[in-house]
Chains A and B, each alone.
Chain A
Amino acid sequence: MPEALPKEVTLLLHADDETTRDAAWERFVAQHTRLILYVIRKLVRDRDRGMDAYAWVLERLREDGARRLRGYSANGAGKFTTWLVVVARRLTVDFLRHSGGRTQATGTATGDGVGRESQVFRRRLLALAGDTVDLDALRDEHPAADDLLDRSERLEALTQAVQELPSMDRLLLTLRFDDGLQAEQIARTMHFPTRFHVYRRLDRVLTQLRTQLNGRGIDGDE
């Protein structure tokens, strides 16, 4: 359910004339500037570029008679603040792309440089689920043909088993093993009460995967 629109947004969307609209806009900006700047600073470290991004975000929010804000007012579900964080972040990313820059955020799920780490996490998943993988063999640059075939079969079986999981469990595995997020971050993102609930759920899902792999003839003794 959408929450009641903040007063300053209601005033802005229902302003009858330019003067009232300007005043309402000023009020909106005053009310939400710090939140918008906070979002921008997560992506843009340079202060001047940050202020350019801020101007860009405000411009986009106001254009076409505050079209985006009207969109929230018509379809918004949940808190206005959360929605504004999402939109301000998207507009900042948009600004960076338009201005030829890259995002400078740190610690996000899938940023640059995660690729190598991601491979490590996939190996860990394979090892945890299959309980059968020789990590040294995975590091071997010239594995034997049998090993390659074996690895490929395991990977295929694992991929298949993962695809059959409920989508929330797939997301859980992806955040943990593909993106390498910490359990605490996953708990916050997926609304687990604590990180321990994340570990317990992971354990359950991995056990399920292991059972499925065993059912397909891939057991821990190979």
Chain B
Amino acid sequence: MGMSEPDAGMPGFLSEEPGERKDLSLLRGSMTPDDANHLDSTTTSAFVEGHLTGAARDRAAAHLAVCASCRDEIVAVREVLTGISTRPMWRRPPVLLAAAAVVALVAIGLPLLQDGRLRAPVPVAVRTPERETRDLSAASPAPDAIVERGPTAQPLVLAWHGAEAGSRYRVNLLDANGETLWSSETGDTSITVPGDIELLPGGSYFWFVDALGTDGRSLTTGALRFSIR
């Protein structure tokens, strides 16, 4: 773990008023706040991305447990990255398209619902096509796929065709009501759903992947439904 950071040249950042942090001492371990030592930018970004492992991660966590300013920073950076990946930074959402989608839902969806013909539940969080999808597409489970799940089934793997090299992906699994069941980040183009996420037979689920490209562009696959047999 790198502490301090001559290369980042942040004298102001390193001169945190000690008094502000000393009173947050209940939970701190043996390390005491040291104004001269903070996580460097490389370690901070690696921790935020979850790339630190083993002793390096433990050292970083031990420092974070006693250093309010570094903690503040990782939380803020994480929130910034989440904000980037969940809202369209680079283009305005096509308001007219979204409005048209709502009108279409009302005009077509309601009669069908009343008719009883539209049986598939619509997620509460309807996602408007506000981001580009052309470079990112889901591979498995395919849209409307029926997935066999039994007591001896292999873990469910979600896979997609990636955007550009170096992209980071946030994968989201939702229940039929649009509630997030599980979410995770990866740099890979597939991910295994943890075994303790319960997917019930007969249930419908949705999943989607958001990608953050190296140029800051965000893409999404859009929500895709699959069912469990």
Which residues of A are interface residues toward B (Cβ below 8 A)?
3-4, 6, 31-32, 34-35, 38-39, 42, 60, 67-68, 71-72, 75-83, 85-87, 89-91, 93-94, 97-98, 105, 107-111, 115, 118, 122, 125, 155, 158-159, 162-163, 165-168, 170-171, 173-175, 177-179, 181, 185, 187-189, 191, 193-194
Contacts and interface: CB of A to CB of B under 8 A. Distances in A.
Interface residues of B, number: 65
Interface of B: 2, 7-13, 15, 23-24, 26-30, 41-42, 44-46, 48-51, 57-59, 61-62, 64-65, 68-69, 71-84, 89-90, 165-166, 168, 180-185, 194, 197, 212, 214-216
Contacts, number: 197
Contact of A81 (B50, B82, B216): B216
A34 B84 CA distance: 10
B168 to A, nearest CB: 6
Contact of A78 (B9, B45, B78, B165): B45
A170 B66 CA distance: 9
B48 A82 contact: yes
Interface of A is mostly: helix
Contacts of A170: 27-29, 61-62, 65
Nearest to B21: A110
A91 to B, nearest CB: 7
Contact of B26 (A94, A111, A122): A122
B41 A178 contact: no
A85 B58 contact: no
Given A39-B80, A82-B77, A90 B8 contact: yes
